[in-house]
Amino acid sequence: MIVRQLGVRQSRQLLALSRRAPASSRFFSSEIPVDTAIQTPTQESIEPLPIAASIPKAQNPLHEVVQVSQAPQGKWAQWEKSKSKFNSLGSLTKDAFDPEDVIRNPPSPSDITLELLLASGTHLGHSTSRWNPQNSRYIFGVREGVHIIALDVTAAYLRRAAKVVEEVAARGGIILFAGTRKGQKRAVVRAAELAGAYHIFERWIPGSLTNGQQILGHCETKVVNAFDKELPDFKQDLADRPSVKPDLVICLNPIENVVLLHECGLNNVPTIGICDTDADPTRLTYPIPANDDSLRSTSLIAGVLGRAGQAGQARRLKMAEEGKLTYEPITVHELKVDPFTGFMPGTEGQKKD
């Protein structure tokens, strides 16, 4: 499986400023999700330097600095202290709504209920005057001048899309989550992290698929084995390869990403997307009729699809441990062969002779 790093593309300006690019680590998540541990400074790192220890405290100018960096001081420290002291006191808040919860612990496709969809506001469509009549089969009725999307249809289509994501992930396909609206960033990143997929939360650069050699040509690719471990021996063989295309694109806001969907159509990539009552359902292979304007709704749907992808990846890795491959692997010959001439490197001269 060849995996392409999309990172450098988005952070070209940052690279130009010769600054450490935070985007390069943020833009791809091919790893199986692990909970990020909070980095706490260890005791060794804050110990005073050995040279400083030999000099008396009064003469050492470093002494003050080292002391300050050792522990948080002032009001913040007081607050932390009092917090830890009184944390166990007071009343307990039970069943309080936490908007982050749907991003942190998204439900799996089997947990989808109509009540959950209703509480997340997936049934709210657009004003009746803005509807796309192609969506009429997903619409339950009109309420206060707004179209109401049928929740049973949403649940059915969401489960179907989740099944597709799971199967594609189980076959080692490359999945791309795209949600470019304001506020969708965290949900998109989390879903991609769960599903071992890629994500885009900024603008889709037009031509990334149709003109990938120009736009993504300088990005890094890698060859991985069945356990998703990188094989660095094939690094030099990946030069001059066409850019990698996704096997499945999941778009949380198809209305703004018409260009992305058009390119997917040109490159024959199946797409999944949230289809509000004003969107065009024929642009997507698997539309999910739901509200795409509410962040809670989009986070829920992205989370469900992410969970489905997680299940698929787990299945693939489990089968790999048993020695079975769920996909047709790329052969060494295919990797070594020159993509332009079609010969193995070093053999061209011999054949010409």
Which residues form the interface with other proteins (CB under 8 A)? 95-98, 101, 113-120, 128, 133-134, 136-137, 139-143, 147-148, 150, 157, 160, 163-164, 167-168, 171-173, 247-248, 261, 264-266, 268-271, 281-287, 327-328
Smallest gap, in angstroms, from Cβ of residue 181 to other proteins? Answer: 21
Which CB sits closer to other proteins, 26 or 171?
171
Cα angle 262, 190, 3 (rounded to 5 degrees) comes to 60
Smallest gap, in angstroms, from Cβ of residue 74 to other proteins? Answer: 30
Which CB sits closer to other proteins, 189 or 269?
269
Which CB sits closer to other proteins, 167 or 278?
167
Smallest gap, in angstroms, from Cβ of residue 136 to other proteins? Answer: 6
Smallest gap, in angstroms, from Cβ of residue 10 to other proteins? Answer: 26
Which CB sits closer to other proteins, 1 or 215?
1
Which CB sits closer to other proteins, 23 or 151?
151
Per the listing, tokens 């441990």 go with 321
Smallest gap, in angstroms, from Cβ of residue 347 to other proteins? Answer: 20
Smallest gap, in angstroms, from Cβ of residue 241 to other proteins? Answer: 14
Which CB sits closer to other proteins, 106 or 172?
172
Which CB sits closer to other proteins, 79 or 327?
327
Smallest gap, in angstroms, from Cβ of residue 117 to other proteins? Answer: 8
